[in-house]
């Protein structure tokens, strides 16, 4: 138990984020943490094989210059508009620390990425959860009020629901005194990015990650693109904490992955095709779900409780994600795997639901 006497009264006590399970077994079908089922591009393999370990003596480039340049070229922005971090979790955490320092609450949806409230708590940032509507949509008007910053994913997680660039712009127009962060972890699976707005709004940050669409969750690469001013402030904080966060192998592999647009397009297309097939299959099995523009589907069964399906799938070594939380305890979040993995999922569901 907590002892609030002595040194323990001065501890920064937090309830940490709970990541999805990473089971050790290899014979499971892992559809629980939105990883990409396909490997990164061949160039990454070659760079790893050919890496001169003697270089490990040296500190890495603190600016991650090769990776920043590759991203700036790919997204057609200036290098001074790109900030990279060790996964977008690192990037977003830095954003919270750098920009969310108001007495007014930051705003994010009630159903969203469950790391946001954890960062708000750890940095002692006041926050307010804005309820999504009954269709899990964001209502722009709810974000037109006094606030200390705004953040949400687009498409949202764990719902998969995509909002339009126009709707997001309507929020930006009314919030010129706040930093607005759009977490585009899943944008490459068919959504339209807000990157087109960064030159128009100097208070907008768009965050993306290599963990989902670029098959590199294990390498830990995330980035933010925004105005030069925002990026400068972010770098000032980063260089006040730890300059050498990204190792040299990650920097060169990340740059190579950005340059291989063909591999990227091929893998994201396969996942989108499999997802569209999954929508049909899951409907036939008696599930309903908000329309997904991501690499997962947030589905609820008409008759069988989600907790029961979750357990029965697990017994068959198929892992999906389940939260016993208000408003979403009837849903399962199912990551889109390969076609073969998805066939095994449908077979298992047919047995469980006994159609």
Kindly give, in sequence order, each residue whose CB lies less than 8 Å from that of residue 141, ignoring residues fewer than 6 positions away: none
Task: Choose among 258, 251, 282: nearest CA to 56.
Answer: 251
CA distance readout (Å), 323 to 36, 131, 274, 306: 21, 17, 24, 9
Q: What is the DSSP code string of 222-240?
A: EEEEE-HHHHHHHHHHHTT
Shortest distance, CB of residue 210 to ligand PLP, whole angstroms? 7
Least Cβ distance, residue 183 to ligand PLP (angstroms): 5
Which residue number has the CB closest to ligand PLP?
Answer: 87
Within residues 125-184, the interface with ligand PLP by CB under 6 A covers 153, 157, 183
Pull the structure tokens for residue 286. Answer: 């008696």
CB 138 within 8 A of CB 180: no
3-state secondary structure of 152: strand
Residues 80-99 that bind ligand PLP (CB under 6 A): 87-89
Per-residue mark of binding to ligand PLP, 99-128 (x: CB under 6 A): --------------x---------------
Tell me how far, at minimum, the Cβ of 282 lies from ligand PLP, in Å: 20
Q: Which residue has the tokens 């001013």?
A: 229
Of the candidates 279, 328, 334, the residue with the CA atom closest to the CA atom of residue 310: 334
Task: Give the residue with the Cβ less far from ligand PLP, 157 or 349.
Answer: 157
DSSP 265: H
Give the residue with the Cβ less far from ligand PLP, 151 or 318. Answer: 151
Min dist. Cβ of residue 47 to ligand PLP (A)? 20
Min dist. Cβ of residue 19 to ligand PLP (A):
10
Preceding peptide of 158 cis, ω within 30°: yes
Using the minimum distance from each CB to ligand PLP, give the nearer residue, 146 or 291: 291
- Report how far apart, in Å, the C-alpha atoms of 126 and of each of 102, 108, 313 are: 8, 11, 39
User: Does 292 engage in binding with ligand PLP (CB under 6 A)?
Assistant: no
Closer to ligand PLP by CB, 214 or 263: give it.
214
Whole-number minimum distance, CB 343 to ligand PLP, in Å?
25
Q: How far apart are CA 106 and CA 123, in angstroms?
A: 12
Shortest separation between residue 32's beta carbon and ligand PLP, angstroms: 12
Q: Which of 47, 122, 197, 217 binds ligand PLP (CB under 6 A)?
A: 217
Would you tell me which residues interact with ligand PLP (CB under 6 A)?
34, 87-89, 113, 153, 157, 183, 185, 209, 211, 217, 222
């Amino acid at each position: 138990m907590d002892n609030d006497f002595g040194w323990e009264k001065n501890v920064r006590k937090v309830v940490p984020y709970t990541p999805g399970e990473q089971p050790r077994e290899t014979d499971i079908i892992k559809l629980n943490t939105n990883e990409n089922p396909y490997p990164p591009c061949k160039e990454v393999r070659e760079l790893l094989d050919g890496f001169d370990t003697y270089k490990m003596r040296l500190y890495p480039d603190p600016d991650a210059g090769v990776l920043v340049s590759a991203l700036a070229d790919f997204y057609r922005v200036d290098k001074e508009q790109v900030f990279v971090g060790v996964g977008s979790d690192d990037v977003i955490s830095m954003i919270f620390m750098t920009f969310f320092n108001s007495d007014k609450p930051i705003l994010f949806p009630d159903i969203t990425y469950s790391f946001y409230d954890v960062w708000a708590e750890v940095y002692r940032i006041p926050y307010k959860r804005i309820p999504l509507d009954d269709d899990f949509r964001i209502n722009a008007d709810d974000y037109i009020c006094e606030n200390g910053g705004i953040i949400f994913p687009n498409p949202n997680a764990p719902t998969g629901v995509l909002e339009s660039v126009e709707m997001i712009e309507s929020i930006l127009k009314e919030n010129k005194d706040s930093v607005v962060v759009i977490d585009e972890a899943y944008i490459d699976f068919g959504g339209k990015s807000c990157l087109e707005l960064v030159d128009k709004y100097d208070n907008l940050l768009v965050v993306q990650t290599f963990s989902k669409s670029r098959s590199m969750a294990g390498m830990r690469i995330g980035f933010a693109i925004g105005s030069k001013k925002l990026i400068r402030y972010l770098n000032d904080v980063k260089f006040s904490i730890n300059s050498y966060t990204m190792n040299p192998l990650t920097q060169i592999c990340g740059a190579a992955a950005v340059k291989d647009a063909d591999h990227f397009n091929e893998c994201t297309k396969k996942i989108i095709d499999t997802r569209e097939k999954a929508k049909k299959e899951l409907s036939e099995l008696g599930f309903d779900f908000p329309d997904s523009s991501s690499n997962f589907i947030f589905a609820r069964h008409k008759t069988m409780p989600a907790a029961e399906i979750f357990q029965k799938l697990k017994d068959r070594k198929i892992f999906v994600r389940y939260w016993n939380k208000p408003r979403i305890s009837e849903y399962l979040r199912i990551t889109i795997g390969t076609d073969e993995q998805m066939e095994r999922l449908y077979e298992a569901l047919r047995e469980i639901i006994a159609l």
